[in-house]
Structure 1
Amino acid sequence: MFDVRPVLYVIGLLVVALGLTMLLPMLVDMAEGRGQWPVFAESAMLTVFVGGLTALACANGVREGLSIQQTFLLATGVWVTLPLFGAIPFVLGETEARFVDALFEAMSGLTTTGSTVFTGLDTLPKGLLLWRGLLQWLGGIGIIVVAMVFLPELKVGGMQIFRSEAFETMGKILPRATEIASQISVVYVSLTLLCALCYLVLGMNAFDASVHALTTVSTGGFANYDASFGVFTGPMEYVASIFMVMAALPFVRYVQMLNGHTGAMHRDAQARGFFFVILALVLVASGVLMSIFPHHWEQAFREALFNITSIISGTGYSSVDYMTWGPFLIAMFFFIGLIGGCAGSTACSVKIFRYQILIASIRTQMRKIRSPHAIVLPRYDGRTVGEDVLNSVMSFFVIFVVSLGLTSVALGMTGLDFVTSVSGAATALANIGPGLGDIIGPAGNFATLNDVAKWVLILAMLAGRLELLVVFVLFTARFWRG
C-alpha cells in the first residue's frame, strides 16, 4: 500500500484555498443586505478547519515527488473532495438544496459542465450566484494544470504527445504544477478581466459582467438567469463567442506568445483545426437557419456562431432554444458537443487533437493498403505519432463510446426517455451543459430528474472531466498493489 499522506496534504491545502474563496461571496452578500452572509461564513470556517487539519496531519509525510499511483489518486481526489465542500453553501443557503442537488451543482461547477438543478436564478442571492461562477472559474484553471501537467505524464488518452521534455520525471510533478500554474494564471486572470470589461462596456451591470466573465473564460456556462445568455443579445453574443474560442485554445501558446513567440498559436495544429471546424459549422448552420426561418442574415449568423461556439467549447450557454431549429441542426448540435476544444485549455469533450490523430491514422492505413511495402507513419503537427500515442488515442475513443453507451443505458433504466438519456450521458461525459429534448434541453434544466439519474450524471461529469481513464484506473486491483 503506497503512502497517501502526500496526496491528502495537497488536497487539504486546496480545500483550505476553497474555503478562503468563500469569503468573496460572503462579502457580496453582506453588501447586498439580504442576511445570507452567515451561510458563507459558516461554510468557510468548516471548510478551512477540515482542510487545514488534514494538511497538518499529513505534513510529515510530504516528499519531494509523487509516484504514478499517488498522482492518479491526487487528480481524482481533488475533483471528488472539492465538490463536497463546494456544495455546503447550496445546502445552507437560500436554495436549501438536498445533498444530491447541492453536490450535482458543485460538481457541475468545478468540472465546468454547466448543467444546473436550480430554478429561479434571477432571484437568488448574489453571493450564491457568485459562488457558482467562482466554482467554474477555479475548475477552469484547475483543469488546465491537470491537462498540462498530470495527463501527459500519466499518458492518458494520447496526452503524452504534449509532454514537455524539460520535465520528464514524475518526481518533478509538483514543482512543474506550481511553475505552470503561475504562468497560466497570468493569462487566465487577464482574459477574465478583459472579458468582464467588454461585457461592462456593452451594458452589463458590474455584477453580471463579473460572474459571466468567470463562467465564459472557464467555458463553464453558469448564468445568472434562467434564460441563460438569452437575456443578453446582439454585440454581447459576439464578445462571448470570441472569449469562448480564446478559452478553448491551448493556453501554453498564450504563454509562448507573451514570451516573444508571436506565431505560436498559428503554428499549432489544434488551433488551426479548431478554427476550421467552427467556421465550417457556423456557415452550415447559418445557411440552414436562413433557409428555414425568416431571419436576417446577421441574426442567423450571430445565433449560429454563439450557440455552436458555446457547445463545441463546452461552455453550455444558450441564447435561443435551438430545439426549434429542426432535426438536422438538433442532430448536428449533439455531435458538435462530442468534438470539444483544444488540449491544454478549459474546454472539454474528446478534443480536436484526438480527431486529428485518428484521421492521420486512417490516412496512413489507406496508404498502406495502396502500397503494402511502403513504410508510412502517421504524423501530427509535424511530428511522427508513436505507437503508444496511437494506441492511447484509440483506447480513449473506445472507452468514451462504451462509457457513453453504459451511461445512456443507466439513465434509461431510471425511467428517462431515449433522447434525454443519450444526450444527458453525452453532456455529462463531455462536460457540455445542456442536453437535448424538453427536459434537459437549452430551455430546460436537470431539476426534475430523479435522484438516481443525478448520481449517475455526477459520476459521469467527474469521469469525463478527468479523461475517463484517470478515474477508471483506480478501480483496478493492480493499481492498489502498486
Structure 2
Amino acid sequence: MRRIRRLDEWGRQWAPVLKIISMLWLVLAIFMAFPLAVLAIEGEPDVKAFGVSIAIVVSAVALVWLATFRVSVELKPWQMFVLTALSWTTISGFASLPLVLGAPQLTFTNAVFESVSAVTTTGSTVMVGIEFLSDGLKLWRGIMQWLGGIGIIVMGIAILPFLKVGGMRLFRTESSDWSDKVMPRTGGIAKATLGVYCGLTLAAMLAYWLGGMTLLDAVVHAMTSLATGGFANSDASFGAYANQPQLLWMGSLFMLSGALPFVLYIRFLRGSRLSLWRDQQVRGLLTLLLLVIVALTTWRIWHGTPPFEALTHVTFNVVSVVTTTGYASDDYGTWGALAFVAFFYLTFVGGCSGSTSGGMKIFRFQVAMILLRNQLRYLIHANGVFASRYNHQALTDDITRGVVAFSFFFFLTIAGLALGLALLGLDFTTALSGAATAVANVGPGLGDIIGPAGNFESLPAAAKWLLCVGMLMGRLEILTVLVLLTPMFWRR
C-alpha cells in the first residue's frame, strides 16, 4: 500500500509537467507538417520520413494526454525547473527524427547533435553538402531554430525570472512590471512577443528575397537570423553571398534585431518610442559592437583589404559572433592574430537578456563593471556609501548573487567541458573554442576543424554528446540545470 501511495503521489507531481510538455510536442508535430507539404508537392522521398516522424510524435502526445487529461496544469516552482530542462531535451530528441529517417540518414548521435544545436539556436553543424539536401530538410533546419528562438524569448521573459534565474528582473519599469506578474499575464506576454517575432521574421524574409535570395533561402535565413541560430542552406554559410554586400548588411541588421530585448519592442509599439535607446543594456551592446567593428576594420584595411569590403565583412562577422548567431561570410580565423583572439573573446559576450541570443549577456558585464567600480571606491573611502543602480533599478543582493554565481559557473562549465574534450584527444584550440561556443550557443569555434570554414562532423561521438550537454546548459542559463543536480532540490 505504501508503494502504491508513493506511485500515486509521484504521478500527481509529474503529470502536470508531462501534460504541458506534450502540448509542446504537438506544436512540434504541427510544424513538421510544413516541410512535409513542401516535400509532397515536389515529390521528394523525404516525405515519408516526416510522415513517420509526425506519427511518432502525435502518438507520444496521445499517450500522455490519455494519462493526464484530467490533471490541472498549475505548476509549483520545482515543477517549472523540471519542465524547463525536460522540454528542451525531449523536443530536441523528437526534432531529430526526420534527420535519422530522411535522406541524410544521420547516425543517432549526429542527428541529436544537429537538433540540439538547432533548438538551442547554437548553429554548430555536422552536416556536409547542405546545399544538396531536399528543400523540406532545409526548411526543417530553419524551423527548428525559429521555434527554439521563440522558446528562448518566452523562457527568458516569462519563466526564468519567476525562478529567479536570468536577467529580466533588471528590466522592469513602473508601467510594465512583467517579470513579477508573469504568471497571470503569461498569455498576454506570449501573444505580444510572438507577434513581434513573426513580424520581424516576415520583414527579414521580404528583405532577403528582394535582396537577391531565392524564396526558400529567404525563408530559412530569415528564421535563423531572427533566432540568432546561424543555420544556412550552404556549407559556406553566409559566405555563399559574400559577393552580395546588400545581403550581408541586411543579415547584420536582422541578427542585431534578434539580439535586442523583445519587451522593448513591445514597449516601443505601445508608444514608448525611445525605450530601446534609453535601455542601458542596448546602449552597451551597440557601443561594444561599434568599438570592435572600428578596431577590426582598421586592422583589415591596414593589412590591405579594400575599405568597404573590410567594413562589410567585419560588421557581419562581429555582429554574428556577438549575437551568438554563428553565420560566417569569411574565415575570420585567417585575419591575423588580433582578429583570432578578438573573436575568441567575443564568443563569451552574447546579446541582451530577453532576446534570442546566448552567451553571458551584455548586462552581466555591465553589472560586473558597476561592482568593480564600487569596490575600488570602497578601497579609497572605506566608510563610504555608494548606490549601485542599473537601468534605473537598484542592484539588490539577490541580483548581484545571481550575476556572480552565473558568471562563475559559466566559465567553470566551459573549463570542465574543454577538459573533457581534451581527454578525448582534441587539440587545445578545438577543445577550448568548442566548449566556449557550445556553452555560449555561438556555433562555429576556432581552428581548422570547427572554425568558420569547418564543421563538427569529424569529432568523436563522445565529444558530440559532451557538446550537446554544453549547448543545453548554456541555453538554460546553467543554474536551471545545476539546481536539478542538488540533493536539496529532490528533498522538497
Change (3 A) 1:202 1:157: closer
Single out whichever of 176-185 and 90-99 deviates more from structure 2. Answer: 176-185
What secondary structure, in the 3-state scheme, does the structure 1 residue paired with 2:220 have? helix
Q: Deviations over 1:397-443 (max 9, x none)?
A: 11111111100000001110000000000000000000000000000
What secondary structure, in the 3-state scheme, does the structure 1 residue paired with 2:161 have? helix
Q: Deviations over 1:252-280 (max 9, x none)?
A: 00001111111111111111111100001
Q: Deviations over 1:205-238 (max 9, x none)?
A: 1011001101001000000000000011311000
For 2:97, the equivalent position in structure 1 comes to 88
Change (3 A) 1:286 1:132: same
For 2:116, the equivalent position in structure 1 comes to 107
Q: Is residue 136 from structure 1 mapped to residue 148 from structure 2 by the alignment?
A: no
Contact 1:151 1:160 in 2 (8 A): no
1:383 shift after superposition: 1.9
For 2:204, the equivalent position in structure 1 comes to 195
Once residues 207 and 200 of structure 1 are traced to their aligned partners in structure 2, the CA distance between those partners, rounded to angstroms, is 9
For 1:375, the equivalent position in structure 2 comes to 385
1:176 shift after superposition: 3.3
Q: Is residue 332 from structure 1 mapped to residue 339 from structure 2 by the alignment?
A: no
1:349 shift after superposition: 0.4
1:102 shift after superposition: 0.4
1:66-85 aligned at under 5 Å gives the runs: 66-85=75-94
For 1:384, the equivalent position in structure 2 comes to 394
Single out whichever of 408-417 and 374-383 deviates more from structure 2. Answer: 374-383
Once residues 152 and 168 of structure 1 are traced to their aligned partners in structure 2, the CA distance between those partners, rounded to angstroms, is 8
What secondary structure, in the 3-state scheme, does the structure 1 residue paired with 2:13 have? coil
What secondary structure, in the 3-state scheme, does the structure 2 residue paired with 1:4 have? helix
Contact 1:311 1:337 in 2 (8 A): yes
What secondary structure, in the 3-state scheme, does the structure 2 residue paired with 1:223 have? coil
Once residues 75 and 275 of structure 2 are traced to their aligned partners in structure 1, the CA distance between those partners, rounded to angstroms, is 31
Q: Is residue 480 from structure 1 mapped to residue 483 from structure 2 by the alignment?
A: no
For 2:3, the equivalent position in structure 1 comes to none
Query: Which of 186, 196, 216 is residue 225 of structure 2 equivalent to?
Result: 216
Q: Is residue 36 from structure 1 mapped to residue 41 from structure 2 by the alignment?
A: no
Instruction: Report the TM-score when normalising by structure 1.
Output: 0.97
For 2:477, the equivalent position in structure 1 comes to 467
Identity, % of aligned positions:
42
Contact 2:166 2:353 in 1 (8 A): no
For 2:7, the equivalent position in structure 1 comes to none
Q: Any stretches of 5+ residues in structure 2 without a counterpart?
A: 1-9
Once residues 374 and 66 of structure 2 are traced to their aligned partners in structure 1, the CA distance between those partners, rounded to angstroms, is 54
For 1:119, the equivalent position in structure 2 comes to 128
Q: Is residue 243 from structure 1 mapped to residue 254 from structure 2 by the alignment?
A: yes
Once residues 424 and 202 of structure 1 are traced to their aligned partners in structure 2, the CA distance between those partners, rounded to angstroms, is 33
Change (3 A) 1:278 1:167: closer
Q: Is residue 422 from structure 1 mapped to residue 410 from structure 2 by the alignment?
A: no
In structure 2, give the amino acid aligned to 1:277.
L
Contact 1:113 1:220 in 2 (8 A): yes
Single out whichever of 74-83 and 376-385 deviates more from structure 2. Answer: 376-385
For 1:154, the equivalent position in structure 2 comes to 163
Q: Any stretches of 5+ residues in structure 1 without a counterpart?
A: none
Once residues 334 and 86 of structure 1 are traced to their aligned partners in structure 2, the CA distance between those partners, rounded to angstroms, is 30
Once residues 239 and 483 of structure 2 are traced to their aligned partners in structure 1, the CA distance between those partners, rounded to angstroms, is 41
Once residues 159 and 21 of structure 1 are traced to their aligned partners in structure 2, the CA distance between those partners, rounded to angstroms, is 29
Once residues 147 and 186 of structure 2 are traced to their aligned partners in structure 1, the CA distance between those partners, rounded to angstroms, is 15
Once residues 158 and 312 of structure 1 are traced to their aligned partners in structure 2, the CA distance between those partners, rounded to angstroms, is 18
Change (3 A) 1:66 1:332: same
Instruction: Report the TM-score when normalising by structure 2.
Output: 0.95
Contact 1:407 1:425 in 2 (8 A): yes
Q: Is residue 262 from structure 1 mapped to residue 284 from structure 2 by the alignment?
A: no
What secondary structure, in the 3-state scheme, does the structure 2 residue paired with 1:231 have? helix
Q: Is residue 177 from structure 1 mapped to residue 186 from structure 2 by the alignment?
A: yes
How many residues align? The count is 477
For 1:145, the equivalent position in structure 2 comes to 154
Once residues 327 and 92 of structure 1 are traced to their aligned partners in structure 2, the CA distance between those partners, rounded to angstroms, is 43
1:166 shift after superposition: 5.2
RMSD: 1.3
What secondary structure, in the 3-state scheme, does the structure 2 residue paired with 1:222 have? coil
Contact 1:20 1:48 in 2 (8 A): no
Once residues 375 and 423 of structure 1 are traced to their aligned partners in structure 2, the CA distance between those partners, rounded to angstroms, is 41
In structure 1, give the amino acid aligned to 2:353.
A
Once residues 179 and 31 of structure 2 are traced to their aligned partners in structure 1, the CA distance between those partners, rounded to angstroms, is 31
What secondary structure, in the 3-state scheme, does the structure 2 residue paired with 1:455 have? helix
